[in-house]
Every structure is written in C-alpha cells, then in structure tokens.
Amino acid sequence: MSIYMGVFKCRGGISGEMPSNKSVSDAPITQFVNCRILKNHRLQWEDLWVREGKILSPEKLFFDEEGFADHKVDCGNKIIAPGLIDVQINGGYGIDFSQASGDIRRGVAQVAKKILEHGVTSFCPTLVTSPPDIYHKVIPELRVQDGGPEGAGVLGIHLEGPFISEQKRGAHPPKFLRTFKAGGVADLMETYGHLDNVAMVTLAPELANSAAAIRELSGRGIAVSLGHSMADLSQAEEAVQNGAMFITHLFNAMLPFHHRDPGIVGLLTSDRIPPGRMVYYGMIADGIHTHPAALRIAHRAHPAGLVLVTDAVTAMGLPPGQHTLGQQQIDIQGLHAYVAGTTTLSGSIATMDMCVRHFREVSGCTVEAALEAASLHPAQLLDISHRKGTLEYGTDADFVVLDDTLTVRETYIAGQQVWRK
C-alpha cells in the first residue's frame, strides 16, 4: 500500500494556467498530519512539513512562498520523534566492527540496514581494544556517510580503547592495552594510524600523559570520553577541563561511587565543570548492565546529560551461542553477553528502541525525556544538534514514527521512508 494517503494539492492551477505556487523550489512538499511531534521538549499536536530532505517551516511556506503540500501522510495519531542516534555500537547480526574482515564496508552496511527497524537513523561504529594493525586496516574503511534507504548514516567512529585501565578493562583483551609512552599525540597516531572519520575516543584519564592526548583530540573536534578507568573525581574533573565531555557506560568499568570520592560518577554533580560546558554520560538501559535504581539516581542527578547507548555486540539479532567481539570469544546466554568462560559482561544484545522503552519504564521519566535521551542528547554530545536530533525547522528530516508503546512503526531519513513495520 502506498504511504501517501492522498494528494493535498496538484502543483499548478486550472489546465493551461501557470502554476499558482510561488515556492522557491519545485521539489515536492510532504505534510505529515494527525501526529504528535516531539519539539521543544514536549509532544504537541502539529503537522510536520518536509522538502528536499529538510524540516520545513509552514509559516515560511505559506506566507513567504505561498506554497502548499504536494503529498499528505495521515499518521493515525502516532508520535513523530527525531531519528535515534547510537554512539556506541560494536556490531550486530553476526558483524563485528573490530574484525578486519575481507569486506569491512559491507559488514557496516549490513548493520546500518538492519538497525533502521529499531528507529536508528545515525550511529557511530565502535571499535574495542585491538592491535594497531587492526586499527590501520579498519579505520580507513569506516567512512562518514549520510543515511538513506540503504541504511542508517555513519557519524564517525567511536574508538573505545586501547588507552584504558588494566584493572577496569572489562571485556577488553589485556595484551593489546596501551599507555601514552611518547607523550600523548604520537601514541594516538602510532596506534590508530590516523584520526580521519573518528568521532569519539574513550580513554582512562589517570594514565600518564593523557592530558596532551585529550587536548589534541578535543582540539580536532573529536569527543573525548572517560571510561574503563580507575580515575578519582579530581582526575576526571581535570580531564573535563582539558576537553573531555562524555562518560562511557556510566557505572560500568569504573570505580564505584564512594561518598568520600565519588570517582567519575561524581562528574554528574561536580561544581568544577567549566562554565558553558556540559558533561554527557552513556547508559546501557538493557536491564542487565545497570540496576534500575542506579539508572534512576543518574537520571535524577543529571537528566540533561543522559545518552542512551546499546553497546550492542555481534550477537545482537542472533540466537544464543558463541560469537566474537574484537579479539575475544563471547557467550550469549539469554539476554546476557559474557566473555567466554567468565561472568564478565561483554556488551549487550539490546536494540535502541528496547533501551528507550526500558528506560521509560524503570525511570518513570516522560516519553519526551526517554526519546530525547536517544536523539537530542547524543546529537548535542557530537555537536550536530543544528542538523540532527531535533525536528526544528531546517534540520535533516530524519525521524521515527512510534505508537504509544514506543514501538517503532516507520523510519525516515532525509524525508524518505526507509523502513516500515
């Protein structure tokens, strides 16, 4: 069945007359009606207008251009929210981004296509701790690209490791961990090869010479995240003052909260964050990595900084059994992913829409807050909220249509339907 429920107007007047529409563009205009759109932090009954892949201002269209809609889509009282953004996803559907396979791009494309059904329109392919030769092979292949019918867009790579703590390595293989021996910047280039297409790097700020690396990365516009770390609060605060702005999977692989030194967790309420700066933090809301009470504590302490991530591994979308994550074997048992032969958690098999629903349920937050944690907040973290993560006029028309249970019904990229339930 065609998505278009009817034609709102035919461009042009009576046969033989010149078109009456004074629109600045001949591109078709689509009007989404009978919907609640997430805008200005609340759901509101309002039509959504799209032209040439962008959200269009109806006032500008009506009064400046005297234009009209070409197509009208009845959304049946559903919710329209910005497309979801996942800044930490290691793979899925049998694909491991940290494996230098024969066709790396095809693997990324396969995951990009499948996550459309979970409302994800943009993501950061994440590489776990690996030897330098893996980075040198994989990083050049994972290029930033726009999304479309072929799959979600790639915003840049998230490099999680290898400059992390031995004690808090989690599922990261210890033999590939590195320190900043050469003073920071040289170590980055020696390990990764180059930083083109890199959006984020997770590191442990207590490592010697990390400050220079943090300054270099943030100076290049790369988000620095603190994680897999033994850092105390003062070390974490110093890292933020040097440019760090994110915390990788809060509570996991870091010192536990202590009342005399809350560690990295203390950044959520620190009074030493530079003026005008925000610290964001990732939460794996899969019901396994973080207890609901801990999730509620974090959200109530710092709601504007919460970023939902899946931390999904190869086995997302696959049956239980043995799979790989980087250089490690992992076991999938039910909804748990473990390093083979241990009880160490190794990423998740949760999907982003599942995380949104679980977060909403256990936190008691509003529908708006749950959706913004997976759209607006990651866009703000990556400094792309002027084009992604909102439905403001002029932004990219990447959005998701959901029912009242927050189940994804349709996914759009650049105003084009790319998936439908």
Where in the sequence numbering do the catalytic residues fall?
Answer: 311
Assign 3-class secondary structure to 276-320.
CCCCEEEECCCCCCCCHHHHHHHHHHCHHHEEECCCECCCCCCCC
253 assigned binding-site residue? yes
Residue 271 makes CB contacts below 8 A (sequence gap 6+) with none
* CA distances, 115 to each of 84, 193, 353, 358 (Å): 10, 29, 10, 18
289 assigned binding-site residue? yes
The amino acid present at 304, given as its one-letter code, is A
228 assigned binding-site residue? yes
Question: CB of 344 within 8 A of CB of 353?
Answer: no
Q: How many helices (H) and strands (E) does the chain have?
A: 10, 22
Nearest CA to 155 out of 222, 92, 98 is that of 222
249 assigned binding-site residue? yes
Half-sphere exposure of 234 (CA within 13 A, CB side): 2
Q: DSSP per residue over 330-388, as a string?
A: EEEETTEEEETTS--B--B---HHHHHHHHHHHH---HHHHHHTTTHHHHHHTT-TTTS
Measured torsion, CA atoms of residues 51, 151, 160, 308, in degrees rounded to the nearest 10: 60
Question: CB of 124 within 8 A of CB of 89?
Answer: yes
Rounded to the nearest 10 degrees, what angle do helices 352-363 and 292-301 cross at? 80
260 assigned binding-site residue? yes
Return the DSSP state at 48.
Answer: E
171 assigned binding-site residue? yes
282 assigned binding-site residue? no
Beta-bridge partner residues of 254: 229
Q: What are phi and psi of 11, to 5 degrees?
A: -65, 130
Rounded Cα–Cα distance for residues 419 and 402 (Å): 12
106 assigned binding-site residue? no
Length of the chain: 421
302 assigned binding-site residue? no
Half-sphere exposure of 250 (CA within 13 A, CB side): 31
345 assigned binding-site residue? yes
Identify each DSSP E strand in 143-212 by its residue range.
Answer: 153-154, 157-160, 198-203
194 assigned binding-site residue? no
Binding-site residues for Zn(2+), in ranges, read 160, 228, 249
Binding-site residues, in ranges, read 160, 171, 228, 249, 252-253, 260, 289, 345-347
